[in-house]
Amino acid sequence: MAQPLNIALFGAAGRMGREVVATVRESPGFRLVAAVARAGSDGVGNDIGAIASGVPLGLALSSDPEAAAKAADVLVDFSTPAGFTVALEAARRAACAFVSGTTGLDASHRAALQAAAGDIPVFHAANMSFGMAVLNRLTGDAAHMLSDDFDVEIVEMHHRYKKDAPSGSALHLGETIAAARGTTLRKSATYGRRGEGARSAGSIGFASLRGGDVAGDHTVIFAGDGERLELTFRAGSRRIFANGALRAAGWLATQPAGLYSMGDMINALK
Ligand code: NAD
């Protein structure tokens, strides 16, 4: 039997991190070899299995990124933009593959990802679920097929704790539409609306709702005269993101250095 893939997890004590811990535990092809939290945060030194699901795993939550990356085949990151930077640097130094689902990244983070891709395989997805990747593909197809007369609005809803808005997935959908229309989000995005003024032609509108424990809903609306096309994906639980991250880790471990996305993984499956 093939050896399990060694996973180091960044942001392990967070909501997504705990879900990944539970998913790895149930996945024979993967083994958790390191769980990392920010230095000084609660729980460092305690068993990550107990933190995640109340059942000890025999692995302590650490605050040592370098040791974690050295022990791993793939470093998986669900943390914060600052944590992402630390994780990416550690993965690059240890020459281990890097999968990140952290959102709220800016141009400097993306440049760092691109630079690291010269040395190691790196994978970033603002939404790790397979259904969301399909929504993105369908959105691109619809934007190609429908004329610019169709106004585009993207509506997303997430749980009350989410810090960034719009969601990384909503922005990714917007980028897909902008690319299909030969423009950029920088030129075409409108974030939220308040007060007076008509919609500007060609704009891509974003609306963000927050509340409850919603794992993640995204709807893309193409509104024409007399007709409206709506594409919706609803995430039922965080487990789908953890499953997707492990699927990406397994796939990435077989890839050469480079920058990869969910779209690349889907295309490789065909
Ligand atoms: P969270 O706040 O519950 O957890 C984040 C964790 O990262 C915290 O435990 C924090 O202590 C830790 N952290 C911060 N800096 C760190 C560092 N330097 N080293 C190690 N750990 C560090 O947030 P969450 O809900 O788990 O989400 C985490 C990230 O994943 C967010 O950016 C979120 O938007 C994103 N997310 C992505 C997907 C996806 O499919 N790509 C799905 C859900 C959430």
Distance 102 CA to ligand 1 centre (A): 6
166 in contact with ligand 1, CB cutoff 6 A: no
Nearest Cα neighbor of 128 from 41, 251, 219, 5 is 251
Distance CA 125, CA 133 (A): 9
Full strand arrangement of the beta sheet holding 5-10 = 61-62, 30-36, 5-10, 74-77, 97-100, 121-124, 258-260
How far from 71 is each of 31, 90, 237, CA to CA, in Å?
A: 11, 11, 30
**Using an 8 Å Cβ cutoff, are 200 and 127 in contact?**
no
Q: Print pLDDT tens along the chain (270 aa).
A: 589 999 999 999 999 999 999 999 999 999 999 999 999 999 999 999 999 999 999 999 999 999 999 999 999 999 999 999 999 999 999 999 999 999 999 999 999 999 999 999 999 998 899 889 989 999 999 999 998 899 999 999 999 999 999 998 999 999 999 999 999 999 999 999 999 889 999 999 999 999 999 989 999 999 999 999 999 999 998 899 999 999 999 999 999 999 999 989 988 876
CA distance 138 to 144: 10
131 Cβ below 6 A of ligand 1: no
Give distance in angstroms: CA of 197 to centre of ligand 1. Answer: 37
Nearest alpha carbon to residue 32 among 74, 81, 64, 89? 74
Catalytic residue among 124, 144, 159, 162: 162
Beta bridge partners of 34: 8
Give the sign of the dihedral formed by CA 37, CA 251, CA 22, CA 208. positive
Side-chain half-sphere CA neighbours of 86 within 13 A? 20
Q: 167 CB under 6 A from ligand 1? A: no
- The b-or-e profile of 122-133 (16+ CB within 10 A means b, else e) is bbbbbbbbbebb
Residue 270's pLDDT is 62
10 within ligand 1 shell (Cβ under 6 A): yes
pTM of the model: 0.84
CB 101 near ligand 1, within 6 Å: yes
**Residue 221: CB partners within 8 Å, gap ≥ 6?**
152, 153, 154, 155, 228, 229, 230
- pLDDT of 255 reads 97
- 237 CB under 6 A from ligand 1? no
- Quote the ligand 1 centre to 254 CA distance (angstroms): 26
| 3-state secondary structure at position 54 | coil
Distance 79 CA to ligand 1 centre (A): 3
- 159 is annotated as an active-site residue: no
Question: Which residue type is seen at 71?
Answer: A
Rounded Cα gap, residues 148 and 85, in angstroms: 38
Out of 70, 124, 144, 158, the active site residue is 158
Half-sphere exposure in the Cβ direction for 165 (13 Å, CA): 19
In this structure, which residue's CA is closest to atom 37 in ligand 1?
101
Residue 270 known to be catalytic: no
Q: Are 234 and 132 in contact (CB under 8 A)?
A: no
